[in-house]
Amino acid sequence: MEVSTIGFDRFKPLADDACESRIVAAKKALGERAVILGHHYQRADVYKHADLTGDSLRLSKLASQTDAEYIVFCGVHFMAEVADVLSKPHQKAILPDLSAGCSMADMANLAKVERAWREIGEVLDPDEKITPVTYINSAADLKAFCGEHGGIVCTSTNAREILQWSLNRREKVLFFPDQHLGRWTGYLMDIPLAEMLVWDPDEPMGGLTPQQIKMARILLWKGHCSVHQMFQAQHVLRWRQQNPTGQVISHPECNFEVCKLSDYVGSTDFIIKTIQQSAPGSRWLVGTELNLVNRLAEEMKPQGKVVQFMAPTVCMCSTMARIDPQHLAWSLENLVAGKVVNQIKVPQREAELARIALDRMLAVS
C-alpha cells in the first residue's frame, strides 16, 4: 500500500527549536538507516545535526562507504547528484529542499556547453584538441558530457593536477563553470594570462575570433560564484593597513586580484587546516563563505586567534541556506513514516558517463 507523504505545510510555521527536537527524535528513530551530510557552508542550525561534515566530494565518498539506506545531503543540488552517482545501488540521495541550487552551476548548462563545442568545432576538432574539464560544482549532465568527450572533473584541491593531466593529453582545455578557479590554476602552472581567454556563452563563438581560439591554451567559461565574487582587492588592502602582521587566506573561486594579494589560496579544507595549525594569537582575513568563517572564528577564540570575514557586507550561500531546520525535519519524519521525499536520481546513462569523468579524476589525483 502506498504510504502518504507528510506535507511540508505542517512544518513551515514551526519554530526552529521545535524543529530541533523533532530532528533529534527522527534521527534516533532512523538510526544507521540514514546519514546526514553537512557541507562546510551550511547554516549552523542545520550543520549541527550532520553526521558527516566537509566539502561536497568528500561527503559523497564518505556516505558511499556507509551502509545507510538514505543519504540526506544538507548542501545543494549538484552535491546530491554526486552523492547519487557515487553511492551504492541500495542508497538513496535526498535533498531536503529542491530549491537549494547553485548559481555558479546554473551558469553552464548542457545546451550552452554543447553549442560551444559545436562552435569550437568550426575552428578545430575539439575531440582531438580540447579536454573538457568541469569543476565539481556543476550539474551531472555536464560531468557526463566530460565523460563522453574524454574529459574529467576537478575540485578546488586537485585542479592543478587535473589541468596538467588534461594538457598532457590534448593541447587545450575548456574549463567550466568557474573562470576564476581555472585562471588561478593556470597562473600557478605558468600559463600566461593572454593564453587564458574567457568564453562567453551568450556571444557567438564565445565572443572570440578563430585566431584567439587557436591561440588559447585554456578557454575559461564565463561563470563565477556569487559569494566569492563579492570579495575585492580593496578589502584586502584596507585590512592590511589596519593589520600589518595579519595573514590573508582565500578560496580560488575569488577573483584573480584577490588571490594574488592573499598569503594563501586553497580549498575550504585547506583554509580550515591552515588556520587551525597557525600560531596562537594570529590574525586572519578569510575570503570564503560566511557560515564557515563564523564557525572558524568561534573555534579559534580559545587560542586567541582572530578570524575575520573579508567582505564588509553579509555574504552567505543563500541557496544552500534554503536547507533550513523545517525542511530537514520534514524530510526525516517522512523517512520515519516510510516515505522518501525529494530523492535526487541521476538517469542511468548520464550517471554512467558522469562516473567515468569522476573516476578519471580519482585516478589522477
CA distances from 251 to 30, 134, 231 (A): 36, 17, 10
- Any idea which architecture 228-309 has in CATH? 3-Layer(aba) Sandwich (3.40)
- Return the pLDDT at 313: 76
- Return the pLDDT at 19: 94
Question: Which of 84, 75, 80, 77 has the alpha carbon at shortest distance from 105?
Answer: 77
In angstroms, the CA 326 to CA 354 distance is 32
C-alpha torsion sign, points 112, 57, 266, 159:
negative
Which of 16-20, 78-82, 277-281, 330-334 bottoms out in mean pLDDT, i.e. has the lowest? 16-20
User: Is-contact 186 217, C-beta < 8 A?
Assistant: yes
Query: Is a pLDDT exceeding 80 seen at residue 213?
Result: yes
- Return the pLDDT at 165: 98
Q: Which residues pair with 133 in a beta bridge?
A: 152, 175
- Return the pLDDT at 315: 67
At 173, which helix (H) or strand (E)?
strand 172-176
Indicate the SS3 state at residue 30.
helix
Instruction: Tell me the CATH class for 105-226.
Output: alpha beta
Q: Grid coordinates standing for 175? A: 574549463
Query: Is a pLDDT exceeding 70 seen at residue 41?
Result: yes
Query: Is a pLDDT exceeding 80 seen at residue 317?
Result: no
- Return the pLDDT at 4: 63
CA angle 78, 297, 158 (to 5 degrees): 40
Cα torsion through 263, 268, 271, 276, rounded to 10: 180
Averaged over 255-259, what is the pLDDT? Answer: 98
- Return the pLDDT at 97: 94
Between strands 343-344 and 92-94, the pairing is: antiparallel
- Return the pLDDT at 314: 67
In angstroms, the CA 333 to CA 335 distance is 5
Question: Which of 74, 83, 68 has the alpha carbon at shortest distance from 34?
Answer: 68
Side chain identity at residue 129, one-letter code: K
Query: Is a pLDDT exceeding 60 seen at residue 274?
Result: yes
Q: Do domains 8-99+319-346 and 105-226 have the same CATH topology?
A: yes
pLDDT category, 365, cuts 50, 70, 90? confident
| Superfamily the domain 8-99+319-346 falls into | NadA-like (3.40.50.10800)
Question: Residue 279's CB: how many other CB atoms inside 10 A?
Answer: 9
User: Is-contact 64 292, C-beta < 8 A?
Assistant: no
User: Is-contact 213 253, C-beta < 8 A?
Assistant: no
Averaged over 101-126, what is the pLDDT? Answer: 95
Indicate the SS3 state at residue 226.
coil
- Return the pLDDT at 110: 97
| Higher per-residue pLDDT: 17 or 282 | 282
Query: Is a pLDDT exceeding 70 seen at residue 1?
Result: no
Question: Which of 6, 2, 51 has the alpha carbon at shortest distance from 27?
Answer: 51
In angstroms, the CA 345 to CA 353 distance is 14
Mean pLDDT of the chain: 95
User: Is-contact 180 256, C-beta < 8 A?
Assistant: yes
Q: Where are the domains of the chain?
A: 8-99+319-346, 105-226, 228-309
Query: Is a pLDDT exceeding 50 seen at residue 2?
Result: no
